[in-house]
Amino acid sequence: MVLILLLQRCIQLLILPVYLLSYLGLWDPLCKKIFPYIMAKCSTQYNRKLFQQKQDLFSSLREFAGPSGELRLLEIGTGTGTNFQFYPPGCRVTCTDPNPNFERFLLKGVTESSHLQFERFVVASGEDLRPVADSSMDVVVCTLVLCSVRSIEQVLKEILRVLRLGGALYFLEHVAADHSSWGYFWQQVYYPSWKLVFDGCYLTRETWKNLEQTNFSEIKLRHIHVPLYWTPVQPHIIGYAIK
Ligand SMILES: C[S@@+](CC[C@H](N)C(=O)[O-])C[C@H]1O[C@@H](n2cnc3c(N)ncnc32)[C@H](O)[C@@H]1O
């Protein structure tokens, strides 16, 4: 524990200017502006590493289409739109993100995804999806988002509200490592600075527990290890949960 605190302080010293900006109340608005650029850079490499897993995961999306064959999909925390390429042709996509600075990156993704039918972009957090009607979605997608939300319980409650009966939540999230591993040790070391630099991202969430405690009728969930070397975000969960 003492060693973890010591190493945490060392990293905090290394990024002292960020802590100073945060203390002055300047970091949060700046982070909201630069985070979309960071995501645009990182997500290309991330998608390359996870291409097969994402392709396998999203290959079953069509099974959740309504009786007319139409698939209404809501993506929460869409970011730059890295998942669009995996959605089936004709899919009707509604995007949400609380950070409006993602919109211009998202528009690029929209332009490049002519196989999809985009409905709208809503600036909203996952905790409050009021612009989306009850039972109006066949599928909700959430990738690398539950690590950053204020309340996972409230987001999952909102997801259940907007999903129709028999609809599904598709997820892919980085999570806490095994508590007896070095991975978990480093997650604890990085945690405070990582959260500050990466727009509120928690490294040690056991998100699978929240999913298991929510009122889904069926959950298909796998723990996977993503070889993102030298980063504390290698353990992931992937799967879908049916309402
Ligand atoms: C690491 S990025 C992931 C973006 C995208 N889903 C992907 O897989 O590339 C995290 C995203 O979650 C969004 N986010 C942060 N807090 C959120 C919240 N409370 N509700 C919904 N989205 C949130 C951020 O604005 C950002 O777009």
| Residue-level pLDDT at 158 | 98
Backbone angles phi, psi at 80, to 5 degrees: -90, 0
| Residue 145 near ligand 1, beta carbon < 6 Å | yes
CA–centroid distance, 68 to ligand 1, in Å, is 31
| Residue-level pLDDT at 13 | 95
Specify the amino acid at residue 191. Answer: Y
> What is the H or E stretch that residue 166 is in?
strand 163-174
Paired sense of beta strands 137-143 and 235-242, if any: unpaired
| Residue-level pLDDT at 16 | 95
Specify the amino acid at residue 231. Answer: T
Please tell me the pTM assigned to this model.
0.95
| Residue-level pLDDT at 53 | 96
CA–centroid distance, 229 to ligand 1, in Å, is 22
| Residue 233 near ligand 1, beta carbon < 6 Å | no
Query: Which atom of ligand 1 has the smallest separation from the CA of 77?
Result: 22
| Residue 127 near ligand 1, beta carbon < 6 Å | yes
CA–centroid distance, 143 to ligand 1, in Å, is 8
Nearest C-alpha neighbor of 87 from the set 69, 109, 113: 113
Half-sphere exposure (CA, 13 Å, Cβ side) for 137? 28
| Residue 188 near ligand 1, beta carbon < 6 Å | no
Query: Which atom of ligand 1 has the smallest separation from the CA of 141?
Result: 6
Best substitution site from 96, 97, 102 to test ligand 1's pocket, by max atoms within 8 Å of Cβ?
A: 97
Strand partners, 21: none
CA angle 215-216-217, nearest 5°? 115
| Residue-level pLDDT at 141 | 98
| Residue-level pLDDT at 25 | 95
The token pair at 109 is 């993704």
| Residue 144 near ligand 1, beta carbon < 6 Å | yes
Look up residue 61 and give its DSSP letter.
G
Q: Whose CA is nearest to atom 19 of ligand 1?
A: 149
User: In the chain, which residues have pLDDT < 50?
Assistant: none
Paired sense of beta strands 72-76 and 218-225, if any: unpaired
Q: Which fold has domain 2-242?
A: Rossmann fold (3.40.50)
| Residue 125 near ligand 1, beta carbon < 6 Å | yes
Residue recorded with tokens 């650029």: 37
Q: Whose CA is nearest to atom 4 of ligand 1?
A: 79
Query: Which atom of ligand 1 has the smallest separation from the CA of 102?
Result: 27
* Conformation bin of residue 180: beta by default, left when phi > 0, alpha when psi is -120 to 50: alpha
Domain assignments of the chain as residue spans, ordered by start: 2-242
Paired sense of beta strands 163-174 and 218-225, if any: unpaired
